Every structure is written in C-alpha cells, then in structure tokens.
Structure 1
Amino acid sequence: MATLEIDRVRKAYGSMEVLKEVSIAIGSGDFLVLLGPSGCGKSTLLNMIAGLEDITAGAIRIDGQTVNDLSPKDRDIAMVFQSYALYPTMTVRQNIEFGMKIRGVPAAEREKATREAAEMLQMGHLLDRKPSQLSGGQRQRVAMGRALVRHPKLFLFDEPLSNLDAKLRVDMRTEIKRLHQRLKTTIVYVTHDQIEAMTLATRVAVMKDGIVQHLDEPQVVYDRPANVYVARFVGSPAMNIIPGRLKDGPAGAELLMDQPDGGVSRIAGVQISDAARRKYAGRPVLVGIRPEGFSVAAPGQSAVKAAIEVVEPTGPDTLAMFTLGGTEVIARLAPKAVEAGQIADLAVTTAKVVLFDPETEIRID
C-alpha cells in the first residue's frame, strides 16, 4: 500500500495543454477513480503516474518519494490495461509467471504466487489454457493476476472493463471490489463509466478539459456536486437542472419555477446559508434536483404541478418526464405511480436540493 500525491501537475504537447495543474492526494489503501469523458486527460494522468509519459511541470509522489524521473520499473507499480496485453502463445500460468521469471524469482516462489493469485481470482482451473481459449472476463482476470503477483505499492487500471459486455462488467466490478477489500491496496482506476466510479471508488476525481472539477467521496460528489458539469455527468438519469428564482421571506428561502401554463411552482424550506440567501434573494438560480428527489405528494403536502408527458417503466421504478422552468425534468417514482397525460402533484425532498449560480455554474453554499 502507498500514498499518492499529484502536485500541480501539467502536461503539454507543444502549445496544446492536456492537463492544467492537477492536484490530487489519496491515502494508503484508497481507491481513486479518475472519471470523465474521452479527451479529458484521465488516461494521460494515469500514464504519467506509471512513468509512461513525461511530466511538463509539477510533481508526482508515491509514499512521499518524488518519482518524476524514475523509470516505470523503478516505481513499484502494476498496471492492468484495457486490451489485457496477454502473450497469445503462453498459457495462463506462463503469462502470470512471466514478469517474475524475468526478475529472477525462484520457480517455487513463482508457483506459490501464481497459485495464490489464481485462487483469489477463481481461475485455478484455467492455468493450463491459452488466452484464445478464454472469455473476455477470464482474460481480464489473467491480466489482474499478473499484476497481483508483483505485490506492488500501487495498482493502476486503465478502463479495464470497457471491452466486456454488460453482464461481465457487473461481474468484474464485483471481483475488483472484492480484491480491494481483501488486499487493502492503493488503486488508481480510469473510466468514463460513472456507475463504475460510484460502486468502486473511495475517492472520485471528476475531470473535464484537463481540470479536476470535483474530488471527494462518491456520495458527496453525487449529493453535492461542485458545479453543473459534475451534476450532469454523475448520475443516470442525470441531475435535473431547472432555471428558477430565489425568494427570501419570513419562513426562509423559497424557490419559484415557471410552469408551462404560465403559473409558478414554489418549493419552500430550501436549505441554504444566510449569506447565500441574502446574496441571491430575488435573483435567478439553477435548481438541481436528482430524479429520486421527487415523490408523489401526500394530501396537503407542498408540491409542484407536473403535467406528465412520457412515462418509462423500468421494473423497480418509473421514470416520468414533464416540463418545469422551461426545461425537461425527469422524476424517478414508484411503479405505476403516474400515467402519461396526468397532472400530478409531486413533492420535492428539499434537503437534497442543490443550487448553482447561473453565470459561474458553481454550487451555491
């Protein structure tokens, strides 16, 4: 296990800046997920941690040691690639042992380490097969086993599940989660899949255009996103971002949002600091509400009027679409709670409402 510190790291290719002073610090045993769309710089950052890319500026420290100038083999890291990178002519056993053999590890020690890794990943029966005889999930297990036997300070995963089908991705997520819980090792994991980030990480760094937009625990990133970009990127369906206005009254902050029929919906009891309430009173704000933040209102409960346009049953719940504040909104409700064409009264869980500045799109606290 090891700590990792990324200190104001920059990466430029000529005049094109890919990473812009990225700073991230994680503790020993943390599972950091670098999350973002293609081209945001997450894989470049992983390659810099591994020593496969040079650093333009800043420093990377593993267990307090600056590794900027160390070669990949001297960093005590193990990397699992998207493409598996297995030797096709070797058996599973030979693939797992190969790195140890190159380093001169004795045969008995190699065999013991291979057996332990195979048992941990439930692939002891595959040791004499070749990669062409394995499924995608089995090949990924072999790649993980090859990394495991090194007992590195740091594991690096570069979108390891993106080549797998949906069911295998779920299964392998569980395997990786189980592996982390058992070994308590430090992991840095790159993905564009926010479900992987939420289920695996102890810390998530959401990236965009070479900048870390939000770094925190997954639940904090989900519940209190730092800005509108993070709010829309994390969550499926994404957080609803609804134009509205903030009103300050004797009972506290109240949100006003326009209805399609010209009326106004009100949400009272919004939790916001006194300073923010004074600053934004009477001004436009962006109202963030997760789909599950809506529910069918009980009689007499404060609610917004929702003219349900489309209903999508998913089995455990129903997604209902309607218009509020001039934008399409999605509510996650109980099965058969509403029907298309119905005017429904929907309550809002005010404790989970998040407000954003409409100009900067940064969360208002």
Structure 2
Amino acid sequence: MSTLEIDRVRKSYSNLAVLKEVSISIDTGDFLVLLGPSGCGKSTLLNMIAGLETITGGEIRIAGKVVNDLSPKDRDIAMVFQSYALYPTMSVRQNIEFGMKIRGVAPAERETAVKAAADMLQITHLLERKPSQLSGGQRQRVAMGRAIVRQPKLFLFDEPLSNLDAKLRVDMRTEIKRLHARLGTTIVYVTHDQIEAMTLATRVAVMKDGVVQHLDEPQAVYDRPANVYVARFVGSPAMNIIPAVLEIQGATANVVFEIANRPAARISGIAISEEAARKYGGRRVLVGIRPENFAAADEARANLVIDVDVVEPTGPDTLVVFQLGGAEVTARLPPKQAFPGREAHLSVDTSRVVLFDADTETRID
C-alpha cells in the first residue's frame, strides 16, 4: 500500500512556478530522498506534504487520504527540522514527551515511550539535561526521539544533518539508517548531499527547477541516469560526459572520440537497441563514463591511449585527469598508476557506458 502519493502537484507564487506537476508514490517502509541543489523545490515539496505550505494544484494523499486542506496536526506526520526546534527551557525528557502531553497521553504511557526512544537513540543519560548542555549530534537525537514517540504514518526530515560537522554527519547517517531498519517507518528526507541520498534512500527523486528529473532506486540513478543533469549531479567525481560520434556495427555500437595531437580513439562493443541504432547511427552523441569504469591496461587490451594532464592522489586511489573528445575527463585508478606528462593506456568497461542525446541530453535506451 502507498503511504504517500504526490499526484501532479504544483506550487506557484504569482507568476513563479516553483513545482511543476510533481508525481511521486512511495510504499509503506520506503525511504524517499528528495535530492537537488538549493532552489530546486525539494524543501517546498516537503513543506507541502507537512501542511506548512498550501498547494496550488494536484493532490497529496497519506495512507490513501487526501490531505490538501488538513492542518499539520491532522496529517499523522512527524517532522525533524534542520534547526532541531527544541524548547530551550525544557529538559530532554520534557522535549520528547511534550507532544504526547498536549494530546493527553497518560503519564505512564509517556514514560514508556520516552524510555524506549531514549534507549534506541542512546540518550537515556541525557534525559534531565537542557538543550544548551548538548552537542549538535545529541540535539539531533533528541529531535528524532520527539518524532519517534509520535508513531506517525510518515516521518519528514528537512536537511537534518547540514548543521553538523563532517564526522557527526557520518555518525548520524548511520543512526538514521539504523532507525529506519528498526522501525520500518516511511520517511521522506530532503538533502542536497548526494552521499546522504545514496547511503540512506530506498528511492531517490533528483529534482531541478521544480521538476523530478529521475525517480528510482539509488543504484539505478547512479548507473543509468535519466539525463546529463542527473549524471553530473550524482557521483563524486561526477560522471564524465564526453562528445563523440556513434558508429553502428552489427548489433553493437562504437563511439569515436577526437584526441588532441593523436588519431581518433574508438571504444567498441557498446550495447544499443535497434531503434536507437537507426536513429543515432553516424550522429553526434554524449558518452557517459563513471571515473571508476576506467582501468589501467596493457597496450594490447587498451581502449584508449591518453596523455595525462593531472594526477590527484587521494590515498586509496588516484584521480587521473586528461582530455578526450574536447572534454576534461577524470579516471579513478589504483595509486601510482599514472603520472603527469606521461602516456597512459586505459580500458573502459563498455557494459557501464551510458549514451545521451546530444541535443536533449536525455539517456538513449
């Protein structure tokens, strides 16, 4: 059963369209991440699900019930904010149980719920402290505890880790993933951090300018991005997008790249549909190759012979930068595999190559 259905939802401020016909459906227990840069509409969409923003058009349904006109308190949701939103004069215990107290939950039931949430989040020893006595990570745990005791149909997270330092972000990612596994809850989570999206989500909606560009499982978004925007947004370093000409050879295709001061390079054996072969044969396309899909090779097995421009050692691997097809390309190789100013032989995993239309920048299937 779908816990959340967003059906052709629109949001406009005067003549400015912020969300344009957004449709997303997630099932009970899904972890949906709304991913995109600032201004793409992801936080506006979350606020509309929460009832904090009005809807210009379309419907939002939670557990099959249209909630367009319901107030936030009637939507059976719990929200965790970027700013924690804790009451500074209340203890941790009082912050966690405050919502239950307002709803008239019995003291014994409140105590049981607070203890269970505190044990799960490992904050039992903090229950009598005030928020000012807590670290950022501890405050975020308290905010999560306050949401957990609600036992809502839907949890909403609005960039909850953006105020934390790098190590705490990693720790809290683990806590949120563990929480989702334990509770089996349905979560909608907003972030601009694609690592958070890949780590946490069961479904990712990549957004740009109020439009969902790609909605799928994280690995599918990474391996087969719907368009060049998604390819470049998801992944670090980003997918290389390289202009080339497509040659058709039987049931497979070759892509031919120009290389400065060298003969043209050819990568052969790329799978392509008959329809795409008829449409794009002999035409210019964009070739998407992830940095890790390059490998060092001996001369006999190499797809490419390139001149190395820059080498960036990172410890576990080395990023090698070179020019191909008029684009700057990055390969991720084992340490010490190539050096500046030297020629290098590379192979490409053709099963992982993605082709895009050069004009529309959408994926060629």
**Superposition TM-score tier, normalisation by shorter sequence:** over 0.9
2:332 is paired with a residue whose SS is strand
Q: Find the aligned partners of 2:84 and 2:64 in 1 and give their Cα distance.
A: 30
- The one-letter code matched in structure 2 to 1:44 is T
RMSD: 1.0
Tell me the equivalent position of 1:14: 14
Q: Give the AA of the match of 1:324.
A: L
Structure 1 position 299, deviation (Å): 4.5
Deviations 1:333-361 (A, max 9, x none): 01111111111011000000000001000
How many angstroms apart in 1 are the aligned matches of 2:262 and 2:301? 22
TM-score (norm 1): 0.99
Paired residues of 1:2 and 1:29 also in contact (CA < 8 A): no
Q: How does 1:21-40 map to 2 (within 5 A)?
A: 21-40=21-40
Deviates more, 1:245-254 or 1:264-273: 245-254
Per-residue Cα deviation, 1:175-202 (whole angstroms, up to 9, x for no partner): 0000001111000000000000000000
Q: Which segment is superposed worse, 13-22 or 271-280? A: 271-280
Percentage of matched positions with identical amino acids: 74
SS at match of 2:98: helix
* TM-score normalised according to structure 2 size: 0.99
- 1:262 deviation in Å? 4.3
Q: Give 1:134 shift.
A: 0.6
Stretches of structure 2 that go unaligned for 5 or more consecutive residues are: none
Describe the superposition over 1:68-90 as per-residue Cα deviations: whole angstroms up to 9, x where unpaired.
11111000000000000001111
Instruction: Tell me the secondary structure at the aligned position of residue 160 of structure 1.
Output: coil
How far did 1:274 drift? 1.5
Q: Distance in 1 between matches of 2:7 and 2:248?
A: 42
What letter is aligned with 1:167? K
Q: CA deviation at 1:133?
A: 0.7
Contact 1:88/1:130 (8 A) holds in 2: yes
User: Does residue 55 of structure 1 match 2:59?
Assistant: no
1:313 aligns with 2:321: no
How many correspondences in the alignment?
Answer: 365
Looking at structure 2, the residues matched to 196 and 299 of structure 1 have their Cα atoms a distance apart, in angstroms, of 39
- The one-letter code sitting in structure 2 at the alignment partner of 1:212 is V
Q: CA deviation at 1:315?
A: 1.1
What is the rounded CA distance, in whole Å, between the counterparts of 2:317 and 2:3 in structure 1? Answer: 41
Distance apart, 1:251 and its partner CA:
7.0
Equivalent residue, structure 1, for 2:357: 357
Q: Equivalents in 2 of 1:25, 1:250: separation in Å?
A: 40
Look up the match of 1:65: 65
Distance 1:251 1:113 in 2: 61
Distance 1:97 1:249 in 2: 67
**How far apart are the structure 2 equivalents of 1:350 and 1:252?**
11
Give the ranges of 4+ consecutive aligned residues of structure 1 lying more than 4 Å apart after TM superposition. Answer: none
Q: Which moved more, 1:32-41 or 1:300-309?
A: 300-309
- Residue 204 of structure 1 aligns with an amino acid whose one-letter code is V
CA shift digits 1:86-130 (9 cap, x unpaired):
011111011101111111111111111001000000111111111
Match of 1:213 in 2: 213
The residue type equivalent to 1:227 in the other structure is N
Give the gaps of 5 or more residues in structure 1: none
